[in-house]
């Protein structure tokens, strides 16, 4: 090798080696006074996290240490923030001097002052990322990551991941290291890195990021996957009423989101004795209490499996008819209005609507798949499907809130991998 070129190569080598951010940064939960930023390093690192109001020289700094036992992830918390303010932030890995910069904006303090701000969020589920040596032989189940680059270009404030965000494989199910590998492999996809920084992310799970296919409460590794979800996502909380799991709640502007756990307490699909339940009594009562208390213009209930579809197929909630009917009756009895279920799992997209006897309506927007194989189940018998909303190819949803508080409108749009709109429906607050 020419001496001149050798020197150039050697001088560039440390720059390559210093790149020690594995994945992220990713924007996590967002409130008026606090925001989470998530990052994963490749090795143990001391991380300096700084944030400041744009245009201001005042800087707040916190230090974090990433460790192998938490998969080298860090939840960086910016606190004592001002509402409705744009902040800049910087992450510096002290050992390698690798760094990353970005911005976030806190939620606005609009209550008692003006009408709620307009905003939008993205939905999707079933994101399979291929890794050939661990995949089943034959045609790849994952269909490419182009869709994530398309989503990153959308003007949206949040993205809600509706389960099967990670597909654990046979080699992963029984070990902490296997589960951590799978989550790391997904979060590190190059096409996702811009998306992580573009909007705030919240996630629930379904069977594939919880455990094996159709996994239930008997899954021996559920505490490991719960730990993994806590390490790799940055939700505002995990579990309610002193119960393990991923159940939590957050608000964004005039809307409340209720994140349910459809796996941790789920009885086996084939169980013929005892209570057949997906959510369980404690979680149901918490949900109804929270919905009754909520004054939100729309109340979004996130659940991994399809809720409203009356066709008892696969793992639809209709296969647990007593629990499904109980939840519907409680919503009707308590006169809870403007309830929208957001679900995934089905490798198809559709909007379902149930008109209640008291004049209220319940909706279920199923958004799937992002990158996994899709299925055409248009003939399976969903009598509640809104005409023209069935999609059997890779897609994502965009939900937009606009208008004044009393006449708030929700527009649901479905897009293909290229960002082309497939259909759109508007729902007015009841």
- The predicted model gives 363-387 an average pLDDT of 94
Q: What is the pLDDT of residue 18?
A: 52
Long-range contacts of 223-228 (CB under 8 A, 24+ apart): 224/175, 224/176, 224/179, 225/168, 225/179, 226/264, 227/176, 228/71, 228/179, 228/180, 228/183
| pLDDT over 70 percentage in the chain | 96
The kind and range of the H/E element at 401 are: strand 395-402
CATH number of 3-105: 2.60.40.380
- The predicted model gives 232-254 an average pLDDT of 97
> Would the pLDDT of 15 be above 50?
no
Q: What is the pLDDT of residue 252?
A: 98
Q: What is the pTM of this model?
A: 0.94
Which residues fall within 8 angstroms of residue 289, CB to CB, at 6 or more apart?
A: none
> Would the pLDDT of 16 be above 80?
no
- The neighbouring-strand residues paired with 421 are 415
Domain boundaries, the chain: 3-105, 119-428
On whether the CB atoms of residues 239 and 248 are closer than 8 A, the answer is yes
Rounded to a whole number of angstroms, the distance between the first and last alpha carbons of the chain is: 74
What is the average pLDDT value for the chain, to the nearest integer?
94
Q: What is the pLDDT of residue 59?
A: 87
pLDDT tens across 145-164, in order? 999 999 999 999 999 999 99
> Would the pLDDT of 383 be above 80?
yes
> Would the pLDDT of 2 be above 60?
no
CA 42 – CA 310 distance, rounded (Å): 46
Starting from the edge strand earliest in sequence, which strands make up the sheet with 119-124, in order? 73-78, 35-41, 21-30, 200-204, 158-162, 119-124, 395-402, 409-416, 421-428
- Give the CATH architecture of domain 119-428: 4-Layer Sandwich (3.60)
Alpha helices (H) along 19-155? 146-152
> Would the pLDDT of 302 be above 60?
yes
Which of 348, 413, 335, 415 is CA-nearest to residue 376? 348
- The predicted model gives 74-101 an average pLDDT of 95
- The neighbouring-strand residues paired with 399 are 121, 412
Q: What is the pLDDT of residue 272?
A: 87
> Would the pLDDT of 114 be above 90?
yes
> Would the pLDDT of 374 be above 80?
yes
Which residues fall within 8 angstroms of residue 347, CB to CB, at 6 or more apart?
A: 126, 368, 369, 372, 373, 374, 375
């Amino acid at each position: 090798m020419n001496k001149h070129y050798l020197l150039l190569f050697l001088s560039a080598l440390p720059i390559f080696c210093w790149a020690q951010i594995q994945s992220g940064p990713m924007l996590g939960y967002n409130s008026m006074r606090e925001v989470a930023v998530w990052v994963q390093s490749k090795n143990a690192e001391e991380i300096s996290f700084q944030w400041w109001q744009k245009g201001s020289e005042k800087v707040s700094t916190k230090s974090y240490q990433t460790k192998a036992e938490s998969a080298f992830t860090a939840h960086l918390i910016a606190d004592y923030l001002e509402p409705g303010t744009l902040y800049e932030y910087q992450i510096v890995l002290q050992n390698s001097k690798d760094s990353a910069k970005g911005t976030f904006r806190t939620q606005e303090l609009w209550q008692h002052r003006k009408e709620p701000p307009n905003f939008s969020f993205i939905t999707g589920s079933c994101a399979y990322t291929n890794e050939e040596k661990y995949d089943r032989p034959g045609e790849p189940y994952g269909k490419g990551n182009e869709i994530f680059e398309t989503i990153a270009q959308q003007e949206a404030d949040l993205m809600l991941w509706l389960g099967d965000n990670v597909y654990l494989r046979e080699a992963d199910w029984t070990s902490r290291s296997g589960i951590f590998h799978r989550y790391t492999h997904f979060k590190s996809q190059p096409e996702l890195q811009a998306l992580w920084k573009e909007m705030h992310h919240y996630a629930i799970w379904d069977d594939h990021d919880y455990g094996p296919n159709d996994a239930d409460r008997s899954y021996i590794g559920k505490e490991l996957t719960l730990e993994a979800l806590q390490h790799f996502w940055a939700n505002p909380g995990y579990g309610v009423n002193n119960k393990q799991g991923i159940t939590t709640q957050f608000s964004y502007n005039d809307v409340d989101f209720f994140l349910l756990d459809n796996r941790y307490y789920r009885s086996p699909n084939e169980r013929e004795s005892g209570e057949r339940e997906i959510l369980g009594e404690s979680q149901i009562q918490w949900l109804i209490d929270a919905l009754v208390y909520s004054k939100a213009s729309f109340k979004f209930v996130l659940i991994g499996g399809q809720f409203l579809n009356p066709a008892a197929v696969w793992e639809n909630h209709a296969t647990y008819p007593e629990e499904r009917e109980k939840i519907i009756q409680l919503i009707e009895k308590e006169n809870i209005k403007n309830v929208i279920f957001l679900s995934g799992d089905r490798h198809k997209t559709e909007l379902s609507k149930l008109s209640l006897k008291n004049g209220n309506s319940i909706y279920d927007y199923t958004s799937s798949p992002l990158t996994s194989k899709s299925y055409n189940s248009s003939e399976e018998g969903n009598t509640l499907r809104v005409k023209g909303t069935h999609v059997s190819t890779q897609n994502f949803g965009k939900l937009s809130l606009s208008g004044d508080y009393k006449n708030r409108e929700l527009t649901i749009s479905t897009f293909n991998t290229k960002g082309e709109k497939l259909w759109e429906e508007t729902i007015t607050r009841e």
